Structure 1
Amino acid sequence: MSELLIAVEDLHVSFPRANPLLRWLGRGAPSHRVLRGVNLCVARGEFCALIGENGAGKTTVLKTIATLLIPAAGRVTVCGADTVRQAARVRAVVGYVLADERSFHWRLSGRENLEFFAALNGLPSVEARTRIRSLLERLDLSAVADRPFGEYSTGMRQRLAVARALLTRPRVLLMDEPTRSVDSVHAAQVWRVVREEVEAVEGCVLLVTHQVQEALALCRRLALLREGRIAVDTTAQEIEALVAGLDGFLVTVRGLRARLLEELRRYPGIRDIRIASQVAEEQVLEVWTHNGDLALAGFIGEVTGLGATVTALHRATPLQGLIERLSADADARERAAV
């Protein structure tokens, strides 16, 4: 059996509910249970995708593995080290690509940001400079390396986040929507670099993504997180059979108010629209069509007319459709087992 690099056993994570009245009375507010017994293992050499609806707890799983959250119950080990009792050992082998860029210093250049994080991780200065130069070149960021981070496009920021996660050559790479707002050419470049890095250290990747095609192209395994547990853990090959007949698009927009989604749902040819992910004012919309056809120019005009800007659009299998089919499959198996 291959070496297990990530082992999540019966993981429970809860967050306190904000309740000003109970705080004023000096009483504890009831907790919100996000994870309710997650079991998940990722072995050496594996690329595993973790999918689920918004709020399912996918990022919570990643943060717990990265030692950023402490479990209420259960156990997580990374390369054999416990994330609570041996957190420093875990952090030494984990790279984490966050879904947003708030942890970067906006006034520093991209290169200076990487130098700061390299020093924070204890990389010797000469080694750090060489490593940073290599990653900037391979991720096509050399030309903008000395520009302030605040001037970067969203796609550039995401690629810099990947570079930061790879600085220390981690064996375990946790990636939370790493190619959000990254164009297809640079996304392919990101995944080429990630594969090279992971293969070099015999590592693994746990990926959270809302892009079904990306998950199927990169990962042999997909796990569905539902109601705080892993409801389905299956192969990409089995998933491909389930997505047949699911047609739609992923549209990245800026400045679209949530209440205007109902107007877009009435556009001809639209079956449903859901917000797949959101960071600041940028949203990724999952557009589910009736038959795969959509008058793109008219749809973009409709979005623009609502005061928003379309920054990316491409054909994609709607994640929600896949989740519904996986959930139906899981429910059917549970009923058959009773």
Structure 2
Amino acid sequence: MSTTAGSYALLGMPVPRDAAVSAKLRAAGAIIIGKASLSEFANWKGNITNGWSARGGQTQSAYVIGGFAAGGDPCGSSSGSGVGVSAGFAAAALGSETDGSIICPSSRAALFGIKPTVGLTIAGVDERGNATTYAGPYIQKNYTQFTLPQYTNLSLFGFGIPRKVFFPDDEDALHNSTILDLSSKFGVFVQDPADFPSAEEFFAGDSETVVLSMDFRVDLQTYLEGLGNATDGGPASTIIMLLSRCLKESAVRRETNILSVMTMGKSSAEYLQARATTFRLGATEGIDAVLDKYQLDALLLPAEDGATGPAAVVGYPIGTVPLGYDSASGQPFGLAVLVRKWDEKTLISIMAGLEAALPPRKVPSQLV
């Protein structure tokens, strides 16, 4: 199938093989019915709206009558995957997440979304994916078992509430009432607050942007070099060529792509320092610090307002469960669950327990 990241710049450039996750699904008998739209280049094109691409246009929320223009921002970058499942076109969808690209669209589509530990996207090793080589000892043969009652009793777990920064104000009634119910109705231990030592510093710095820009530059170059020749006779083998194609596409600002082209690469001192900083802020003074300090199993917080950042920069798992709907627009929003690296067992168990405890998700009214 055509793989363009939503851009005309990659149109006509055949890919040489299935992605490993697609190949494994097909081998297991899954029927892949199509590719979903996305924010162009996974929202790394520049100043574009969530869910927009040159090839696909604007992805529209299934829940908000009037779509994007009426306040139905589907979030991104895996916008089409979230909307497609919420509208009933498929039972499940894959997305890719750097920072929020699965969790945010899932939250705004009233879905259960999981971004696993980097390396556990598939239950096996991908010879072309270096991160999967570390996953072997942590792969479970049967993840569905963790949705059974013996695993999903919420009283088995301790939860922390990182309020500083992640709860913009204390008037978030539904999130707060849900947290209170977990303690009073289900007997769970809730440490509130359980703030990240790094919370304010995390969002004040630019280390994540430095890492993203350099990763984009180097990894996209590698991807392009692995493609066959384009139908116009020339291989898209360099970032500069790709950027020149993007410049012809539309008047959308492209500062993000230009920034990536200008980076020095993954061996530079700037990159290595930024990687070290993001790990410190996201793990040793972030997720791990809080879970270890209070001996907790998971953290609960609004699925948006920065929840995905700490998990993103250190490659930790995060999930979201449907929680409620905006009273004005009908747009859904979710509750995020963060756990330790490689602890998908706990993540799935908690999400299944929350599914049983919370009201069921609603079908979009315009599709009933």
Instruction: Work out whether the TM-score is over 0.5.
Output: no
**Of Structure 1 and Structure 2, which has the larger fraction of its residues in strand?**
1
Q: TM-score, normalised by structure 1?
A: 0.29
Q: TM-score, normalised by structure 2?
A: 0.27
The structure with higher relative contact order (CA 8 Å, sep 6+) is 2
